Amino acid sequence: MVLESLKVEDVLKGLSSDTRLLIIDSLKNGPKSAIQVFNDISDNAGIKNRETIYRALERLVDIQILEKKYDLNTKKILYSIKNNTITLSLLSDEVLFQNKKDKSIERIDTENIDISFSNVPQYERTKHVHGLHPYQGKFIPQLVEYLIKKNKFSNKDIILDPFMGSGTTMVECKLRHIDSVGLEISEFNCLLAKVKVNNYNIKKLKEEIDNFEKKSKQVDYSKNINVSEYLQSWFSEEAQKELLHMVNVIKDNDYRYKNVLKIIVSRIARSARLMPHYSLEWAKEPVKEPYYCHKHSRTCYPTENAIKFLHRYCLDSFKRIQQRHQIETSMDKFIDNGKTFENINVSIFSEDSRKFKLPVDNISGVITSPPYLGIIDYHDQHKYSYELFDFKWNFDNEIGPKSNGGGAKAREKYKEDMIKVFENLHSTIKDNAVVNVVIGDRLNMYPEIFDKSSFKVIKVLERPVKWRTSLRAPNFSEKVYIVKKK
Ligand SMILES: C[S@@+](CC[C@H](N)C(=O)[O-])C[C@H]1O[C@@H](n2cnc3c(N)ncnc32)[C@H](O)[C@@H]1O
């Protein structure tokens, strides 16, 4: 029987890509040609290139999940699902055949995976909601996926990320029906994470985004407005009026999904800043005159308005949320725990991890990446959004910000703060929980941090980071500290 010749490891690896899951969903009602599959899923998965679908189809044939046959009637090669009797639990690396007594079950060996993920293309790193809004210093989703599998976290677990950032851990946990809790000091980051994990009525969302787009175009340029010094210096006069008009459209209308609209306006504002194209992250001064652009090797001009980004970001944000929604719906079919993604709990707290008392004491796993000492000012990277919306500016409570540098004083303060975080979280974490801490620890501070807190290091993985374009850092290594309670 075919099932017995399937290698469990191959099956799991084979199904670990969203494109492949969408393909299987598309083929569930019968054979299709590659073009038919492409037409079926390319819009939803945001795939422009047919080659991507061909490659994914062929991979599924290689691992015997699909078969292809020449069809004499249509004179086409048709792909179909080879075996409909396999049910996978993507939660615990266990493969449940319909005959659940099958003894040939193997565990996948995640140790053989290249955890630099340097071969993962950019579109996979920023797939669906992971690319909803730029955010420097986020996890790549494949790393979170790897840690979930490696630790065999399942839908019985509750995963904590005390430095939640833009919510990568929460998105990946929710996809696998795992409840999660996030703590994050920056209110903007919390908003972004909420938008990424929220459940949506997709039709209503589309209606609201379309309505918002239409109303946002009706700007009264003759109106005098009061704007902050920051907005005055970083945006053209036209862009200031357009952005504030968009903010008012959100305020004045009874939209259900205001948070999504705020993220769209924030993306527009980011692109409309008077930043030179070659330095969208780091420029210290606004550009107000034409300049030589190192990125485009020609003269470029300061951005004159914000409205030109409106349609693009409305469309892109909707598509990304819709894609995640569709992937979650497909994943539901592979996870047989009687739940759907709509009843997975994701709790997000905009709080300080050193102090906040979580209202739970049953955290069974942690996947997190604390700030790297002296590298990023997390509030400041989204300052434009803080200026447009009334998020609380809680910068003084950021641990290890760039603006405090990495000198001896900053190092001592960083270690002290991180010890406070681990001590504060201790009582919420179950005794046998596995805590995964991903960190660029060049100064080797973490052994001391764990030593002085109530956690012990079980294992350290080295993770080469081969390219980080936006941080302009050379290749370096991060560590994944795997720790447990002492
Ligand atoms: C390396 S980032 C985490 C990125 C996240 N893994 C992601 O994928 O988006 C570290 C985060 O810690 C947050 N942070 C800094 N100090 C904090 C504190 N005292 N309490 C909670 N979060 C804090 C920063 O705002 C930043 O978002």
CATH of the domain at 58: 1.10.10.10
Instruction: Give the H or E element holding residue 216.
Output: helix 202-216
226 with 273, same domain: the answer is yes
Residues 254 and 364 placed together within one structural domain of the fold: no
Q: What ligand 1 atom has the least distance to the C-alpha of 398?
A: 16
**Cβ within 8 Å of residue 448, ≥6 positions away:** 415
pLDDT in the model for residue 234: 95
Residues 293 and 330 reside in one and the same domain:
no
Taking the CA of residue 397 as reference, the ligand 1 atom at the shortest distance is: 19
Which atom number of ligand 1 is nearest to the Cα of residue 368? 6
Structural domain contains residue 307:
yes
With respect to residue 441, please indicate whether it lies within any of the assigned structural domains: yes
Q: Which atom of ligand 1 is nearest to the CA of 168?
A: 8
Structure tokens at 475: 């290749």
Task: Looking at the structure, tell me whether residues 259 and 290 fall in a common domain.
Answer: yes
Residues 142 and 18 in one domain: no
Domain end, chosen from 283, 316, 349, is at 316
Number of residues that make up the chain: 486
Q: Which residues line ligand 1 (CB under 6 A)?
A: 135, 137-139, 163, 165-166, 168, 183-186, 189, 352-354, 369-371, 378, 397-399
- Residue 306's closest CA among 205, 234, 253? 234
Atom of ligand 1 nearest to the CA of 378: 25
Question: Is 468 found in the same domain as 335?
Answer: yes
Cα→Cα distances 316→242, 285, 346, Å: 20, 29, 24
Question: What is the C-alpha to C-alpha distance for residues 162 and 423, in angstroms, rounded to an integer?
Answer: 12
Ligand 1 midpoint to CA 160 (Å): 13
3-class SS at 41? helix
pLDDT, one tens digit per residue, over 416-457 is 999 999 999 999 999 999 999 999 998 999 999 999 999 999
Cα-to-centroid distance, 162 and ligand 1 (Å): 7
Other CB atoms within a 10 A radius of the CB of residue 54 amount to: 14
Cβ neighbours of residue 146 closer than 8 Å, sequence gap 6 or more: 110, 113, 115
Q: Transcribe 267-322 into DSSP letters.
A: HHHHHHSS--GGGTTT-SS---S-EEETTTTEEE-----SGGGHHHHHHHHHHHHH
Output the residue whose Cα is nearest ligand 1's atom 10: 371
Q: Do both 479 and 363 map to the same domain? A: yes
Nearest CA residue ID for atom 15, ligand 1:
398
Q: Which ligand 1 atom lies nearest to the CA of residue 164?
A: 5
Helices (H), 354-429: 383-388, 408-425
Pocket test for ligand 1, best of 398, 403, 421 (most atoms within 8 A of CB): 398
Query: Residue 106 falls within a domain, yes or no?
Result: no
The predicted pLDDT at position 439 comes to: 97
From ligand 1's centre to the CA of 176, what distance in Å?
A: 23
What is the CATH number for 372? 3.40.50.150
Q: At a CB cut-off of 8 Å and minimum separation 6, what does 414 contact?
A: 373, 399, 400, 445
CA distance 41 to 46: 8
If residue 252 lies in a helix (H) or strand (E), which one and from where to where?
helix 237-252
Same domain, 57 and 90: yes
Residue 377 CA to ligand 1 centre (angstroms): 10
The secondary structure of residue 237, as a DSSP letter, is H
Q: Find the 279 Cα to ligand 1 centroid distance in Å.
A: 23
Q: Probe ligand 1: pick from 164, 183, 479, max atoms within 8 Å of CB?
A: 164
Same domain, yes or no: 463 and 331: yes
Give a yes or no: residue 258 inside a domain.
Answer: yes
Sequential pLDDT tens for the chain (486 residues): 333 445 454 565 566 667 787 888 888 878 899 888 888 887 666 666 777 888 888 878 877 788 888 888 888 889 988 765 444 444 333 333 333 333 332 333 345 678 888 888 888 899 999 999 999 999 999 999 999 999 999 999 999 999 999 999 999 999 999 999 999 999 999 999 999 999 999 999 999 999 999 999 999 999 888 899 999 999 999 999 999 999 999 999 999 999 999 999 999 999 999 988 877 777 778 888 888 887 788 898 888 899 999 999 999 999 999 999 999 988 887 777 788 999 999 999 999 999 999 999 999 999 999 999 999 999 999 999 999 998 999 999 999 999 999 999 999 999 999 999 999 999 999 999 999 999 999 899 999 999 999 999 999 998 888 654 444 455 678 999 999 999
Residue 201 CA, ligand 1 centroid: distance in Å = 29
Last residue of a domain, one of 316, 343, 363: 316
Backbone angles phi, psi at 424, to 5 degrees: -65, -35
Compute, in angstroms, the gap from residue 188 CA to the centroid of ligand 1: 11
Q: Rounded distance, CA 199 to CA 153, Å?
A: 23
Look at ligand 1, atom 3, and give the residue with the nearest C-alpha. 165
In a domain, 89, yes or no: yes
Q: How far is Cα 356 from Cα 308, in angstroms, rounded to an integer?
A: 42
Q: Provide the pLDDT for residue 296.
A: 82
35, containing H or E segment: helix 34-45
CA of 164 to the centre of ligand 1 (A): 5
Residue 177 sits in the same domain as residue 240:
no
In a domain, 164, yes or no: yes
Is residue 107, in this structure, part of any structural domain at all?
no
The answer to the question of residue 370 being in a domain is yes
Given 72, 100, 128, which residue is the final one in a domain? 100
Rounded-to-integer distance, Cα 412 and Cα 404, Å: 12
Distance 167 CA to ligand 1 centre (A): 10
Domain enclosing residue 212, as ranges? 202-316
206 and 171 fall within a common domain: no
Query: 3-class DSSP state for residue 258?
Result: helix
- CB under 8 Å to 338, separation ≥6 — which residues? none
Looking at the structure of the chain, the number of domains it has is 3
For atom 1 of ligand 1, the residue with the nearest CA is 371
> Same structural domain for residues 475 and 354?
yes
SS3 106: coil
Quote the ligand 1 centre to 379 CA distance (angstroms). Answer: 10
Q: What is the pLDDT of residues 328-338, one digit of tens each?
A: 988 887 777 78
